[in-house]
Amino acid sequence: MSLSTVLPAPAPAPVPAEGTPVAVRVPDTDTHLAVADGLLSLLRTTTTEPRPDEQLEALTLAVAADLPVLLWGEPGIGKTAALTRLAASLGLPLTTVIASVHEPSDFSGLPIVGDDPAVQGVPMAPPQWAVELVRAGRGLLFLDELSTATPAVQAALLRVVLERRVGALQLPPGVRIVAAANPRASAADGWELSPPLANRFVHLYWVHDQEVVVRGLGGVWPRAELPRLAPESLADAVAFARRVVCGFLAARPTLIHRLPSTETRRGGAWPSPRSWDAALTLLAFGTAASVSREVLALLVRGAVGDGPGLELLAYLDRLDLPDPETLLADPAAAELPERGDLRQATLEAVVAAVGARPDRARWEAAWAVLVRALETGTADLLVAPATALAAVRRDDWEVPETMDRLAGVVGLARQADRSVERVAAAAAAAERAAAGTHR
């Protein structure tokens, strides 16, 4: 038996008379979307809090110093979100330009033919986003997806990044430039940055911090704040930065300009007069703002590269080392740095001072400084400076008692005796040679 024989047939639907309007029930889509929009609004409502964040502090300092910054990071790491929060925190309108979807003319300007090109020339009309930035007088220009821009677009960006010119339009001083890029391995059809464009940026490598991400997803992100520069220290900060960079480059002239040999490294930070000028600016800003060494290291290495940046930071540390002459004057009261590399650099400076002006009293005082270092630290740092100091000895200088205290560390007394024997043997050989000549 089928269901059709059991259930009654449904009544036919009434047919409206001709001309009678038919009421059609339409779902209330606007109401549903309004509720969805309300939920999205709640999800997007976040707050900020002051929170230590070294990479955000480095980014903010570079923006304050009006230097173009390039954020490197894997896709989805939060570069764009960080720039959005930065612009909101600083009260700057954010203008985002996806470099990879633009033509070179979008940055160099579109030629507009006038009434008499032979007399008036052909001006290069700027794009709308540049006009709006000039109209606002200030803003944060965000050049996104820079590593997927073609070489022709990168070439057009050179004047935008360095000279702040878009076509015939000059961007106002209140506009800051920040770019973002993915490493070539994770970029969509990526290109290496050209060396001229890469050398115009301060390169910061963006990584995620677990606590920052977890707290941010909970609705509270770190707040980007402009560095607090001490007005009374500005002149001293500039003088200090100039002294450090000029002194370092005078000692390491080969680092003034060093183009990397590989294409990948040429697309990052490397030393040139332009990037050293950026490092000097960052050092002055960092000094005036009293930033931590970690933040300063991110900035300096981002300007001139890891190797030269680390050498500059080591040179900077040595500027704060004790004066060798002060240590030689009163070895018993010598205060040596706690950090191992700084302590060894101090001891090497003491030995160098004695070698530059050798004197028995100064030589013995240097041994007393080494004994002081042995009493207040580890012995392994004494091997190199003690060996060098032993070589300074003249053959008529007796071995001091303080030297015996270090004999167990490097066998200095035995080395000193051998040095005397070598000097005596050389002198005897010279006398025999002279006697043979006279015969």
Give the range among 70-74, 110-114, 284-288, 313-317 with minimum mean pLDDT: 110-114
Q: What is the pLDDT of residue 294?
A: 93
Q: What is the pLDDT of residue 434?
A: 61
Residue 72 phi, psi (nearest 5): -100, 135
pLDDT band at 6 (very low <50, low <70, confident <90, very high): very low
- Mean model confidence pLDDT for the chain: 83
Distance of alpha carbon 3 from alpha carbon 25, whole angstroms: 31
pLDDT at 418 over 70: no
pTM of the model: 0.70
Residue type present at position 96: T
Q: What is the pLDDT of residue 404?
A: 67
Give the range among 63-67, 138-142, 161-165 with minimum mean pLDDT: 161-165
Helices 273-289 and 234-251: crossing angle in degrees, nearest 10, is: 140
> Does 3.20.20.70 match the CATH number of domain 49-113+121-222?
no
Distance of alpha carbon 418 from alpha carbon 393, whole angstroms: 11
pLDDT band at 2 (very low <50, low <70, confident <90, very high): very low
Percent of the chain with pLDDT over 90: 32
Distance of alpha carbon 95 from alpha carbon 318, whole angstroms: 43
pLDDT band at 50 (very low <50, low <70, confident <90, very high): confident
Distance of alpha carbon 50 from alpha carbon 224, whole angstroms: 8
- 3-class secondary structure, 67: coil
225-271 tens-digit pLDDT:
888 898 998 999 999 999 999 988 988 899 999 999 888 889 999 99
In total, the chain counts a number of residues equal to 439
Q: What is the pLDDT of residue 210?
A: 86
Closest CA to 335 of 327, 345, 347: 327
Mean pLDDT over 279-292 rounds to: 95
Mean pLDDT over 313-325 rounds to: 84
Phi-psi region of 139 (alpha: psi -120 to 50; beta: other; left: phi over 0): left
Q: What is the pLDDT of residue 179?
A: 94
The per-residue b/e assignment along 154-190, b for 16 or more CB within 10 angstroms, e otherwise, is: bbbbbebbbebbbbebebeeebbbbbbbbbbeebeeb
What is the four-CA torsion angle of 258, 261, 264, 269, rounded to 10 degrees?
A: -10
> 């993915």: which residue's tokens?
182
Phi-psi region of 78 (alpha: psi -120 to 50; beta: other; left: phi over 0): left
Residue type present at position 403: M
Distance of alpha carbon 11 from alpha carbon 97, whole angstroms: 63
Largest CA distance in the chain: 149
378-406 tens-digit pLDDT:
777 888 888 888 888 888 888 777 776 67
Mean pLDDT over 5-16 rounds to: 52
Mean pLDDT over 207-220 rounds to: 87
DSSP state string for 413-424 = HHHHHHHHHHHH
